[in-house]
Chains A and B, each alone.
Chain A
Amino acid sequence: MRGGLSLYVEGNSLLHRAHPFTKGVLMLSAVALAFIVPSALWVAGILVVLLILGTVAGLSRRLVTGAVAVVVPLSLLIFAVQGFANPANRTVVFALGPIVYYKEGLAFAGFVVLRIACLVVATFLFSFTTRPADISEALMQSGLSPSMGYVLQSALQIIPQTLDMAVRIQDAQRSRGLETEGPLHRRARAYLPLMLPLVLSSLLATQERAMALEVRGFGLSVKRQSRYVFADSTPQRVTRWLMALAPPAAVVARVAGWQ
């Protein structure tokens, strides 16, 4: 069976150990700032800070590989379109036959790509250093109901579980002679014999799991106690507030004329 969809990478860096809210605010603030600041230089600065944090967390290689895989195909498309079709295009840089590329469009594309890179790197940094379960656990420790926390925690786990069940049913059907490969109409015909047992198995599994949860006391009307508490020091809380206030401050600065 495959594990969950988590991208978490085991580690013990400062970022790994930080409160999930701190990392969440860091990610959101970095992304928001990347889209608020007026110049590519500022965006590049944010990207560098994120990459330094990733390097300190021992994730530089994974971070760069992941970001390149996502950003490069997108950036090729953005450069191709903006360099050619941006309404602000004036200064010709080069021409590919009838298609002319302009300095203004390419510069704008570079700016957009940097912003996207910030978004991707910040998201990866958060995902690599934070277990999804830790986010819901932190939310529960902050007052979210255990039922809601369970829904959040199980959401990511249920996909690989269902996929695994589907593969097992497909294998079983195949061993009985059902053709699941080949042309589209043949695969479509194999869909029903797969879906029916999948739905029935899921319903049965849900009933059994509901019993198992009850046997373990899930839903008991006592205050739930977590096995661990996330360290949330005063410096972390201050940092979080500062990071949370940075985007609104940047918006105010932009309105006030920051160019």
Chain B
Amino acid sequence: MTEPALIFDKVGYAYEESPREAVSDISFSVDPGEWVGVTGPTNAGKSTLCLLAIGLAPHFFAGTLRGTVTALGKDSRSIKVIERSTDVGLLFQNPFTQISGARERVDDEVAFGPECHGVARAEVVERVDEAMRLVGISELAARNPLDLSGGQLQRLALAGLLAMRPRVLLLDEPTSQLDPAGTAAIFEVLANLHSMGTTIVMVEHRLEALCELCPRIIAMAAGRIIADGAPADVFNDDAVISKVGQPVFARLAREAGVTGPWPVQFQGAVSAFERARA
């Protein structure tokens, strides 16, 4: 049986000097190649989940960790973030702070990570070309990263991570600061990566996008998991509906008097409305 890519076992975490835990009693596992969407209201603990998964909590943010977080068979307590940076990648919300801030060319920026890891020169070149091609920024290779748009910058940040060839990709609201075109471009890249076998855990507020892209959704509220399953199951759960909300298709169907379970994807909504009309 294949070992899960990510395991949270009864995890609780409180930031230093914080009176209460940011996440509590978190238990779930992610299989290799899965694409899991994580959603929830503000302060649900979604970003903390990402920080725990890569080990920035508690290695970067001091705090109290209960339970165990295991990524690719390694306990987060026993391995530094920097040492697992080729296995697990984390993309933050703000693309501007993810670039090194030291490189004057896009391709140099993508090469930053592999260079730090001492990857052989020929392979660095190969990885840079591959990562830029995957995210569609090959034609921007000679540009200064500071001259790029938000969407291009986020794709560059993603390319920088992909050049490290991580097996698990954690994305903390990767499109929150992007316009619709930039968002679509990032989602397309992620769909491509998923089809190539990369394990993806993505925190996202756009429920419609989550339902279309992720076969599995984890809904969180107040630091706890309140639902974990297929999009249609999660967004027809009463606790999720009251604390997180529903995709627009489900809300429309509900308002139109369609009987549940309500559709959470575009195609499902079309079928549901056709059935209701018939």
Inter-subunit contact B101/A133 (CB<8 Å): no
B103 proximity list for chain A (CB < 8 A):
133, 153, 157
How far, in whole Å, are A160 and B146 apart by their CA atoms in the complex? 9
Interface range on chain B: under 10, 10 to 19, 20 to 34, or 35 or more?
35 or more
| Chain A residues positioned under 8 Å from B128 (CB to CB) | 227
Within 8 A of B (CB), among A188-231: 205, 208-220, 222-229
Q: A1–B100 Cα gap in the complex (Å)? A: 16
Please report the C-alpha to C-alpha distance between residue A226 and residue B117 in the assembled complex, in whole angstroms: 10
B174 to chain A, nearest CB (A): 13
* Chain A CB within 8 A of B142 CB: yes
| Complex contact B104–A224 (CB within 8 A) | no
What A residues does B99 contact at CB under 8 A? 212
- Chain A interfacial residues counted at CB < 8 A: 41
Q: Given known contacts A3-B147, A133-B103, A209-B98, is B118 in contact with A219 (CB within 8 Å)? A: no
A169 to chain B, nearest CB (A): 14
Q: Indicate whether A211 sits within 8 Å of B92 (C-beta atoms), given known contacts A161-B146, A217-B164, A218-B100.
A: yes
In the complex, A239 has a CB within 8 A of chain B: no
Can you add 12 more A-B contacts, CB < 8 Å, to A218-B112, A220-B118?
A: A132-B104, A154-B102, A208-B92, A212-B98, A212-B100, A214-B81, A214-B85, A215-B54, A216-B100, A216-B160, A217-B113, A220-B117
**A contact set with B: CB distance below 8 Å:** 1-4, 6, 8, 10, 131-133, 146, 150, 153-154, 157-158, 160-161, 164, 205, 208-220, 222-229
User: Which residues from chain B sit less than 8 Å from chain A, CB to CB?
Assistant: 54, 56, 60, 81-83, 85-86, 89-90, 92, 94, 96-105, 107-108, 111-121, 124-125, 128, 142, 144, 146-148, 157, 160-161, 164
